[in-house]
Amino acid sequence: MHPCDLPAAVAFGWPSRWLEFVPMGLCVARSAGKPARTLRCLLAWNGLGIDVPSAFECAYRDPMGWIIARNGGVAWETDLEFLRLLGLRYIVLETIEGERLPRHVDWDDDDRLVRREPDRVDGAGVAWSGVLPLAKWVHDNQRGLDLLATWLHAEVGIAMPTGTLERAPRG
């Protein structure tokens, strides 16, 4: 499975195992005499976006369009459009050994790499302006994810996982 294929997470994991398939990355950099840096690449929500089935149709057209993109090795390209339509994007969080809070690594308006401190720290975790956790998007879009999973299972013949909704970690 390609790491940038959100429909695959829905098709193969929704609702009980979807976190096993959600695209993410982890990198740890160590250098002699310096604190280790951990980079986590994960999906986050900007609070906007269209409904899941409509975004899927705009990006892939239908389940066969998704299968063709997967088999052609270009699902990751179409997935970026799907994510954009959903209001999702990949973000990078950097944690430096010995520091308590992660930083959001991003580009500023002048295409310079910046590290942003959290705008809010509370019992729910850390937050940055315009960056909402994937768990919030899933909560708000559960019905659309159910519809997409049913559509993919019916059209492509993928067996639906059993069980209850797997909850995303906060933050």
Average pLDDT, the chain: 89
42 pLDDT above the threshold of 50: yes
160 pLDDT above the threshold of 80: no
Q: Which residues of 3-29 are buried (b: 16+ CB within 10 A; e: fewer)?
A: ebbbbbbbbbbbbeebbebbbeeeeee
Domain ranges of the chain: 6-156
Percent of the chain predicted with pLDDT > 70: 91
What is the tens place of the pLDDT at every residue in 57-83? 999 999 999 999 999 988 889 999 999
Pairwise pLDDT comparison (53 vs 157), residue with the higher score: 53
Q: Which two tokens stand for residue 27?
A: 């990198």
Q: Sorting pLDDT into bands at 50, 70 and 90, what band is 1? A: very low
φ, ψ of residue 158 to 5 degrees: the values are -90, 130
DSSP per-residue string spanning 10-78: HHHHTTTTGGGTS--EEEEEEETTEEEEEEEEEEEE-S----HHHHHHHHHSSHHHHHHHHHTT-HHHH
Pairwise pLDDT comparison (4 vs 101), residue with the higher score: 101
What is the tens place of the pLDDT at every residue in 89-146? 999 999 999 998 999 998 888 989 899 988 888 776 788 888 999 999 999 999 999 9
What is the tens place of the pLDDT at every residue in 94-105? 999 999 899 999
Q: Sorting pLDDT into bands at 50, 70 and 90, what band is 9? A: very high
Structure confidence at residue 167 (pLDDT): 63
